[in-house]
Amino acid sequence: MAGPMSSMNRLRWPAWLSTGVLACSIDLPAPPANEEDEPSESTETSAEPQSLGVIPLRRLTRAQFTRTAFDLFGEAMPVDLEFAAMLPVDDQDGGFAANSTAINETTLSQYERVAELIADHVAPRRGQLQACLADPLPNTACAASFVDAFGPRALRRPLTTDEREALATMMWTSPPATADDADLGVRRVIATLLESPDFLYRIERGEAEDEAPDTVRLTGHEIAARMSYLVWGSMPDPLLTADAAAGRLHDPGFRATVLQRMLEQPAAREGLAMMHRQWLSVDALGYFVKDRNLYPNFTEALGPDFDDELTEFVDRVVRRHDGTLHSLLTANVTVGSPAVEFWYGQDVVARRPWAELPHATSELTLDAEHRAGVLTLLSVMAAHAKPDRSDPVNRGVLVRERLLCQPLAAPPPNVAIPPDAPVPGSSLREQLLQHTADPACAACHALIDPVGLAFEHYDAMGGFRTHDAAGNPIDAKGTVPDSDIVGSIDDAVGLAHALAGSEQVERCYATQWFRYAIGRIDDAQDDAMLTSLQLGFRDSGGHIPTLLRLIVGSDAFIHRRRE
């Protein structure tokens, strides 16, 4: 699987996106007709999972921290301020970054530097944070006003009286003598809040008054944060916070309505992308590198373009099309820049302008015989390839681990990888036959290679080809042993359709969202919850917004296990 971690160096957060200036409010298509929309009972049954199990204390990921900071400071944050790479590296957790390792002196230093950097840039723009701060010399009361408005947003919960006083005092107790002094006061408070554990960690302690023996019910604000990080990858917005304060989020039916609203917000686009990028292990697209001898038109700028294509594709399927896993795996319509169009080459059979984004993107209809779903997107194929050739083993492992949820063992120790030097002119398929010849390799590779080789039509850039570099015609036939997909498949398009029809894949996708939500791999304690989600997902016809609703609407979602 691709090694490098989340690509943050090229994050661009255009102000219009995070502040919703273009406010593309999307009407989500209604869920499939066989759905029942009655609010669930709040009484717990013994079969009903009571909590999401033990969730280790985790820090915000780089992506979450960045999005949260931009949402928190809005116009006061310079659009081009880059700090994601200064944050501690995300823990790579076998799928979704969860950051449950402890802070040490080095990583603490990193957090302090980022907090100070942001504070340095935001404080002079304080007029954008609070109206009374626009005055070069604000009055005393302005400190309290700012703290009252900003503090709860930064800490994602209401402040206590002591905290309000402490922060206001820290800012100033008498009117600042100069504008610089005022900046410094604001800076102090901002840096303190950004270094606060309440900001850095996803705190979920629950309601102190809850007397239940095994579980603790989360506070409204904690539920709001769980929802916003799941759907948006960022902090709650004012509406969600208001719902939390009013105690409305404890009602599952209400949460379902809120989820609908959340999915219609622009922020959901990036939130969905954050999950899918990690799910498909393409979060290193920011710096993928290809062999310029073979691909003279390759540039590093392609990474963000390919990443955007993935984001748009997912967004289109989940929020504008029918929202089903089936479409995610088989749709042949994508959205891309001219560069993306160039790399698809002949596969583009129709195009029309895509007006939703203010740059020159088009909606591209791709040849349905060559492209089907998210797996054959340029981004996914290119991310799962070497700089100079395809990578059937990597692609096979991707399908096994992320679509079938079948983890594979590591290669045996002391095995020669790659095996003997390839015979010149042989196809990759022939070279990989070594795997089946050697019993040390066969056990796992019999599961990996027939799947990965189905993607042989897609070269290192993800472009479609009929022959490989040595002139051999591509043979993309494959099978998926040890799964509910029987029979042979002709190629990746066939594989995509087979995966779309697989119950195993459907269950696995639900599992992946669950893992993403809880920040760890599922284990025995999660069986009841997972089964319930998988059944509900199946009953909805694989409707992704419904899956999210099942997660968010569950009783388990608003509890944690008492320790």
149 to 168, contacts with another protein by CB under 8 A?
166
**Contact between 69 and 11 (Cβ < 8 Å):** no
Measured CA to CA, the distance from residue 309 to residue 332 in angstroms comes to 13
Q: Where are the alpha helices (DSSP H) in 195-337?
A: 197-200, 220-231, 238-245, 252-264, 267-279, 302-315, 325-330
**Contact between 272 and 315 (Cβ < 8 Å):** yes
Q: Which region among 53-61, 127-135, 137-145, 528-536 touches another protein (by CB under 8 A)?
A: 53-61
Measured CA to CA, the distance from residue 141 to residue 97 in angstroms comes to 42
| Three-class secondary structure of residue 364 per DSSP | strand
Compare residues 199 and 354 and give the one whose CB is closer to another protein. Answer: 199
> How many Cα atoms occupy the beta-carbon half-sphere of 259 within 13 Å?
22
Compare residues 33 and 409 and give the one whose CB is closer to another protein. Answer: 409
Compare residues 198 and 322 and give the one whose CB is closer to another protein. Answer: 198
362-366 vs 488-489, strand pairing mode: unpaired
**Contact between 344 and 378 (Cβ < 8 Å):** yes
Read off the tokens for 554: 């569950």
CB of 409 to another protein, least distance (A): 8
DSSP state of 403: I
Compare residues 103 and 442 and give the one whose CB is closer to another protein. Answer: 103
Q: Does 469 bind another protein (CB under 8 A)?
A: no
Binds another protein by CB under 8 A, chosen from 15, 22, 30, 54: 54
**Contact between 356 and 62 (Cβ < 8 Å):** no
Q: Does 301 bind another protein (CB under 8 A)?
A: no
CB of 421 to another protein, least distance (A): 5
- Alpha-carbon distances, residue 324 vs 25, 256, 405, 538 (angstroms): 20, 18, 19, 11
204 to 243, contacts with another protein by CB under 8 A?
205-206, 208
Q: Which region among 38-46, 361-369, 385-393, 454-462 touches another protein (by CB under 8 A)?
A: 385-393
Compare residues 291 and 430 and give the one whose CB is closer to another protein. Answer: 291
Q: Which residues contact 510 (CB under 8 A, 6 or more apart)?
A: 530, 533, 534, 537, 547
Interface with another protein (CB under 8 A), residue total 70
Find how far residue 4's CA is from the centre of its chain: 16
Compare residues 290 and 370 and give the one whose CB is closer to another protein. Answer: 290
CB of 196 to another protein, least distance (A): 6
Q: Does 417 bind another protein (CB under 8 A)?
A: yes
Measured CA to CA, the distance from residue 527 to residue 49 in angstroms comes to 9
CB of 131 to another protein, least distance (A): 25
Q: Does 414 bind another protein (CB under 8 A)?
A: yes
Instruction: Output phi, psi for 209, to 5 deg.
Output: -80, -10
Compare residues 127 and 387 and give the one whose CB is closer to another protein. Answer: 387
Nearest of 371, 377, 336, 335 to residue 462 by alpha carbon? 377
Q: Does 289 bind another protein (CB under 8 A)?
A: yes
- Alpha-carbon distances, residue 552 vs 61, 231, 559 (angstroms): 21, 10, 11
**Contact between 227 and 236 (Cβ < 8 Å):** yes
Q: Which region among 51-59, 328-336, 376-384, 424-432 touches another protein (by CB under 8 A)?
A: 51-59
Q: Does 304 bind another protein (CB under 8 A)?
A: no
524 to 563, contacts with another protein by CB under 8 A?
563
Read off the tokens for 537: 């997902």
Residue for token pair 């399927």: 317
Instruction: Output phi, psi for 486, to 5 deg.
Output: -105, 160
Binds another protein by CB under 8 A, chosen from 35, 135, 148, 291: 291
Q: Does 108 bind another protein (CB under 8 A)?
A: yes
Binding flags for another protein, 9-38, as an x/- string (CB under 8 A)? x-----------------------------
Q: Does 197 bind another protein (CB under 8 A)?
A: yes
Binds another protein by CB under 8 A, chosen from 238, 293, 358, 473: 293
167 to 186, contacts with another protein by CB under 8 A?
170
CB of 370 to another protein, least distance (A): 27
CB of 367 to another protein, least distance (A): 30
Compare residues 152 and 387 and give the one whose CB is closer to another protein. Answer: 387
Binds another protein by CB under 8 A, chosen from 44, 195, 251, 264: 195
Binds another protein by CB under 8 A, chosen from 103, 333, 357, 368: 103
Measured CA to CA, the distance from residue 531 to residue 518 in angstroms comes to 15
Give the residues lining the site for another protein (CB under 8 A).
Answer: 1-5, 7, 9, 54, 56-57, 85-86, 88-94, 100-110, 112-113, 115, 166, 170, 187-188, 191-192, 195-198, 203, 205-206, 208, 281, 286-287, 289, 291, 293, 300, 386-388, 407, 409-411, 413-418, 420-421, 563
